């Protein structure tokens, strides 16, 4: 597989656009129309799937006005938004209903990796490589994603990640790399609205999209080809639950590949 990848990536020019058709949960086209005519509106730029991690808090006054723009900016077939509620503002009179100390640690790992000495919310992190507040809405989100895409294109090696019902398969043309974690991220698929009962955001309704419930390290990878088993088959997940695999260069490191389970 690695040799095939090398041939593919050596092509001088890849088709820049694909025709995007949304699928239902069973993999069937939504609104399949045999008389469909292609227009500019149905084409999108083809890029590998990227993950946008949103660190937010129900007690953060800056989050409610910023979240809709962040969610709008990540509504794209080549992006997946994952929401981590942190406990940073739980002292302000309202305990975040989705907050977990583990998500505080994940956010701080990025801060430490980048040599910073302060945290902020909201914060979006794209593939562990570029970040910002996202408070500028869709345009800012797109700019942060674009910065990551520039870094991604500069990589001198390639990786292909595939997931089926039972296994994770990694193929790469790099045989020796630093150790990367293979992470299984479980999240509640879709939107959940919470009305804040106390604190600075009392009475406000905050929409949460793809709230992360667990992050599990299921293995490690350090280059070459590898197949790793999932801890349980996708078919065993509860209704409303979804999952994604991240290949990440340790805590706070860059995420080099993303695939939905």
> Is the peptide bond between 122 and the residue preceding it cis, with omega within 30 degrees of 0?
yes
What's the pTM value of the predicted model, to 2 decimals?
0.83
Which domains are present in the chain?
48-260 (3.40.30.10)
With a cut of 70, say whether residue 3 has pLDDT above it: no
Distance between first and last Cα of the chain: 21
Tokens linked to 1 = 């597989």
Residue 176 pLDDT grade (very low, low, confident, very high; cuts 50, 70, 90): confident
For the chain, what is the radius of gyration of the CA atoms?
A: 19
Residue 24 pLDDT grade (very low, low, confident, very high; cuts 50, 70, 90): low
| Nearest Cα to Cα of residue 48 among 6, 9, 82, 11 | 9
Q: Which residue has the tokens 């910002």?
A: 132
Q: 168 near 218, Cβ under 8 Å?
A: yes
Residue 135, phi then psi, degrees to nearest 5: -65, -20
Q: What is the pLDDT of residue 28?
A: 55
Helices within the chain (DSSP H only): 2-9, 63-73, 101-113, 138-153
pLDDT tens readout for residues 137-162: 999 999 999 999 999 999 999 999 99
pLDDT tens readout for residues 79-119: 999 999 999 999 999 999 999 999 999 999 999 999 999 99
């Amino acid at each position: 597989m690695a040799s095939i990848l090398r041939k593919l990536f050596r092509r001088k020019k890849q088709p820049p656009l694909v025709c995007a058709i949304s699928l239902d949960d069973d993999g069937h086209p939504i609104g399949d129309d045999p008389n469909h005519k292609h227009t500019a509106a149905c084409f999108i730029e083809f890029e590998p799937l990227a993950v946008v991690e949103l660190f937010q808090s129900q007690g953060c006054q800056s989050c409610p006005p910023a979240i809709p723009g962040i969610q709008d900016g990540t509504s794209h077939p080549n992006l997946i938004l994952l929401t981590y509620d942190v406990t940073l503002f739980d002292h302000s009179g309202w305990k975040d209903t989705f907050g977990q100390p583990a998500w505080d640690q994940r956010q701080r790992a990025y801060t430490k990796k980048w040599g910073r000495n302060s945290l902020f919310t909201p914060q979006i992190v794209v593939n562990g490589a570029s970040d910002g507040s996202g408070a500028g809405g869709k345009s800012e989100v797109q700019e942060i994603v674009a910065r990551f895409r520039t870094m991604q294109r500069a990589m001198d090696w390639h990786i292909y990640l595939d997931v089926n019902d039972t296994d994770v398969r990694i193929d790469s043309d790099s045989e020796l790399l630093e150790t990367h974690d293979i992470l299984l991220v479980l999240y509640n698929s879709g939107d959940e609205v919470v009305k804040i009962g106390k604190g600075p955001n009392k009475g406000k309704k905050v929409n949460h999209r793809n709230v992360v419930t667990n992050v599990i390290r299921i293995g490690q990878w350090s280059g070459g080809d590898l197949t790793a088993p999932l801890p349980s088959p996708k078919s065993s997940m509860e209704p409303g639950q979804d999952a994604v695999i991240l290949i990440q260069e340790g805590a706070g490191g860059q995420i080099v590949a993303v695939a939905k389970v």
